[in-house]
Amino acid sequence: MLVICSVVDGTNWNQVRENSMSDLKSMILEMGNRARQASRKVATMEPGHKNTALQEMADLLRTETPTIVAENAKDLAAAEENGLTSAMVDRLRLDEKRIDAMARAVEEIAALPDPVGEMENIRVRPNGLRLGHVRAPIGVIGFIYESRPNVTSDAAALCLKSGNAVILRGGKEAIHSNMAISAVLARAVEKAGVPEGAIQIVPTIDRDAVGHLLSMKEYIDLMIPRGGKSLIERITRDSQIPVIKHLDGNCTVYVDEFADLDMAVPIIVNAKVQRPGVCNAAETLLVHSKVAEKFLPAAAATLMEKGVELRGCKRTVKIVTKAKPATEEDWYTEYLDLILAVRVIDTFEEAVDFINHYGSHHTEAIITDSHTRAMAFLRAIDSSCVHINCSTRFADGGEYGMGAEIGISTDKLHARGPMGLRELTTAKWVVFGNGQVRG
């Protein structure tokens, strides 16, 4: 079967035989090779040049709105045909306003400081060597995502600004939208003199393409998967390339015995209900037994008023009779919905052990007025983000003041938590000498 794909980046792959493994593999390999070549050039582009290219991207997204909307309509039609929920269809939909927001996001990334070339901790050694770190692009990023189409332009802009080449692979539901957006971006950067191959998208929904990407360790330096658990697990299992995962957020708020309970209620309510479908929303509430009888009725009343279903341990259910009994499974679950697991614990240590065991190491908050407890929580909790006396919902690149993020890493290495421009770079060592040799 011959499938004619759109030309997405000015190359001559007019025809991609999806059924031919070897053709698919050569195409992906060729994408990798072009990305590697491009990455060497993008790495040394001046900030002003990259910003001009980003402005071209924003401008062309606006100019090409009708094309993108037309391609998006194909995805919407397929989505309705395939019975996606109206919420999912809405997430997929692009219109002039949403495309303008994408363009503005690209402009905001252009306005951020350029991390490439920043020098850090340059020190002087006794022999006169000046040495320290200099930030450099990672090289080629493989970004696999199952998200709204706007992520395509966000990711392309973040990678270009940080001096990396990127190979994008979006979800099949958004293939027409993503390819239209990528084609626009590739045309824009080409106009600005960015090397061909700096921004590419895999032009097929064939799942084997992902396997080929994951094997190209000579061409791709880092894989960033962002999506559902099964996608992330497949990529972690099969990748020959380092992976930084963007996995689930089973976040906990712990109300300590020394909590200011008037502060604790609005924080758990905000953490649960302000936007329940995102990874930094709270899924579990732990309450110290010394304050449970006072705190839980007040918290439960407000939460239930906002439509939250509570699933509690035995002691919770005794205090809040409207709560359903929780199962073991509940403590592991990221609901992404107006449901909250609630558990009464007897000691601070029990709270810490519970979180490190059942949590997903994303974001946890403690509500306490004890300085000792706050600092002990910070040390003991093995999560990307540890919040003291504030909502888990702040775990976000924008809220942290980093600007746009490519995702929130749930891994420990290289980047933990929100991953912005700086996290898309690495640190090389630089040594400035004037003739030193080692004795």
The minimum distance between CB 98 and a copy of itself, in angstroms, equals 22
Residues whose CB is less than 8 angstroms from the CB of residue 186 and which lie 6 or more positions away in sequence, other chains included: 8, 9, 10, 199, 200
> Of 106 and 367, which has the nearer Cβ to a copy of itself?
367
CB of 19 to a copy of itself, least distance (A): 28
Closer residue to a copy of itself, CB minimum distance, 171 or 359: 359
Sign of the torsion angle spanned by Cα atoms 422, 425, 427, 432: negative
Q: What is d(CA 77, CA 91) in angstroms, rounded to the nearest whole number?
A: 14
Q: Which of 125/294 has CB closer to a copy of itself?
A: 125
Question: Shortest approach of a copy of itself to residue 75 CB, angstroms?
Answer: 31
Could you tell me the smallest distance in angstroms from the CB atom of residue 113 to a copy of itself? 14
Q: Which string of DSSP letters, residue by residue, matches 199-254? A: EEE-----THHHHHHHH-TTT-SEEEEES-HHHHHHHHHH-SS-B--B----EEEE
Token pair for residue 32? 């990798």
- Minimum distance from residue 382 beta carbon to a copy of itself (Å): 7
Is the Cβ of residue 155 or residue 175 nearer to a copy of itself in the bound state? 155
If the CB atoms of residues 315 and 387 are measured against a copy of itself, the closer one turns out to be 387
Cα–Cα distances in Å, from 235 out to 3, 89, 171, 245, 336? 26, 26, 14, 9, 23
Residues 74, 180: Cα–Cα separation, whole Å: 11
CB 225 within 8 A of CB 245: yes
Q: How far is the CB of 323 from a copy of itself (least distance, A)?
A: 23
- Residue 29 or 134 having the CB closest to a copy of itself: 134
CA–CA separation, 331 and 53 (whole Å)? 47
Record the tokens describing residue 43, joined without a space.
């790495």
